[in-house]
A and B are shown apart, each in its own frame.
Chain A
Amino acid sequence: MSDATLGTSSTVREKQGKERQGRSALRHLSLPAGARCASPILLFMALGFLAPLLTVIGFAFAEPRSFAVFESFTLRNFAEIFNPADTVWMSFAWSLALALLTVAALLLICYPIAYGLVRVFGRWSSLVSIAFVFPLFISENVRLYGWTLFFINHGVLDGLLAGIGLSGPNVLFTPEITLFGMIYTYLPFMLFPMTLGLSMVPGDLIEAARDFGAGRLMIWREIELPLAMPGILIGALLTFVLAAGAVAEAKILGGQSVIMISHDIENAFTYSQNWPRGAALAVLLMIVIGGLSMAVMARLDLDRILGRR
């Protein structure tokens, strides 16, 4: 197992070296085969991902309340946002704070499950995995709405407690329930990268450490955690980024007791028809998200994480 883990990247390179010599038939075009295979997807992403982001950036520097993209240049949208009289900083603060709390809670909630999937559940692992993947295929508003039905007055919880003479707690439409909804929605995005990370820890390495008398805490701190870190980092990054842009939880469960930053962006684009302001907000959010993503991803070797066999 440890051999396989450590040896993967070198075998990949070896295989690919062989192939470079062997497949001259494929090289009659000037681009290497890999680049040719990547070009359709890159072209699509340039049009479907890069171009929209550039448009947003263009709008962020357009005159406020105008549609004059790429025609005018001004920093007034950003000046408005950073003006202390503008309360939009609160949405940023709420979104980032709730995203941080979501990540922290999910690290604790998912670790035992990920550990179980790798070391404890054995042949039940795939069934448990499917149980946790499947919610991704139900749209989040349906699942969040289910919680509304659970917590609402005369809902499931209230109705059950009424049977023993109590009444349900009034938790709906609070910041806390928004956080709860975010933890609920993004759980799979933490669980699976974390599981991938923990499965990178060779079992016999732990056995060996135990035989040499290492305690559980020491094994966890010195072996398990460092080796699983790439997966844990991906999970934390993914949940943070998605949660920072979340909006459905605050709308459906939170009853807008908290205004998230994506909600402000949406409002600027829709009701108030101030696209440059919405774009400027989106750019600020993208700077936070993009900066974090780049910083974390620069440190990852995806071949090692995904390519273990």
Chain B
Amino acid sequence: MDRSRPRRSHLMIWIWTIFVAVAIYLPVACGALAGLSKGRYFLFPIRAYSFEWWQKTLDSLEIQRIVQTSILIALIVTVVSLVLGFFGALAFARFDWRGRRLYQKLLLLPIFFPQPVLGLALLLWFNTLGIQPSWHTAIVAHLVWIVPVVTLVIAIQVYGFDPAMEEAAADLGAGRWMILRDVTLPILWPGIWSGALFAFLLSWGNFPLSLYTAGADSTIPKWLYSKMVAGYTPMVPALGTMSTLAAATLLLAGGAIAGFVKARRAR
């Protein structure tokens, strides 16, 4: 068999993948550059770099409040979606029950739904109920599509979980609560942890749902959009870059903690 052909095609696949990855991060890099340029307007090549706009962004009281709102929304979304998603995943992958196939498919529908339309539908619903849209309603909107995602992430872990472990614990006289705490949760922990990271980060970066359902309140992506449409300031790319860096840091820290725990358990 000719061995050089697969190797050449593997090289092509590497080159293509790297090319696409570079294209994916190119606009992010452009934003970072624009946030670091000194002038009021973005001109390339950049004549002078400075942290001026970063400083202004950090000092802005308005932005501080928006960041707090974004964090608060993301935290609440994470907690609620973990609780719903944990039990949802058990129903998805662990238990055999009559409506399971249908349930699995129904649960996917919010993911297979354009978010701008979902946001507008929720806006209509809140209005019909007489609820004033605010960051509280944005939490509900985020949950509608993040809960199914988190459920899927945890469900993948549940598929690899042997129910015999729980049965053994029950045979040895462990109560239901003890089984959950000492057997089920530790085994499903990696899935729950990735679910938590997904929930927080997807909420942190969500734009279309926040745009329509947060009312007068703003999240980071929503604020950025309002400035993109009317009145560019270098604070837009600066805050965008900061938000990206925060997400990257969280992802790295989350991965490091998972790796650390795994290594400690293996010992």
Contact = CB atoms under 8 A, between A and B. Distances in A.
Contacts of A136: 201-202, 205
A155 B28 CA distance: 14
Given A137-B202, A252-B228, A297-B105, A145 B114 contact: no
A159 B30 CA distance: 12
Contact of B228 (A26, A141, A154, A265): A141
A55 B123 CA distance: 10
B243 A156 contact: no
A278 B107 contact: no
B79 interface: no
Contact of B125 (A55, A132, A135, A286): A55
A150 B116 contact: no
Interface stretch (A74-82, A109-117, A224-232): A109-117
Contacts of B143: 44, 48
Contact of A282 (B14, B117, B151): B117
Contacts of B87: 37-38, 40-41
B24 A156 contact: no
A16 B90 CA distance: 12
Contact of B124 (A20, A59, A141, A302): A59
Chain B contact patch, size range = 35 or more
Contacts of A241: 112-114
A37 B91 contact: yes
Interface in B69-128: 83-85, 87-88, 90-101, 103-118, 120-125, 128
Given A40-B84, A141-B225, A145-B31, A51 B125 contact: yes
Interface string B223-249: 011001100000011001001100110
A146 to B, nearest CB: 2
A289 B118 CA distance: 12
Which 4 residue pairs spanning A and B have beta carbons closest together?
Answer: A245-B114, A146-B27, A34-B95, A159-B44
Interface of A: 12-13, 15-20, 22-23, 25-26, 32-35, 37-38, 40-42, 44-45, 48-49, 51-53, 55-56, 59, 69, 109, 112-113, 115-116, 120-121, 128, 130-132, 134-147, 149-150, 152, 154-156, 158-160, 163, 184, 187, 210, 237-238, 241-242, 244-248, 251-252, 262, 265-266, 269, 275, 278-279, 282, 285-286, 289-290, 293, 297-298, 302-303, 306-309
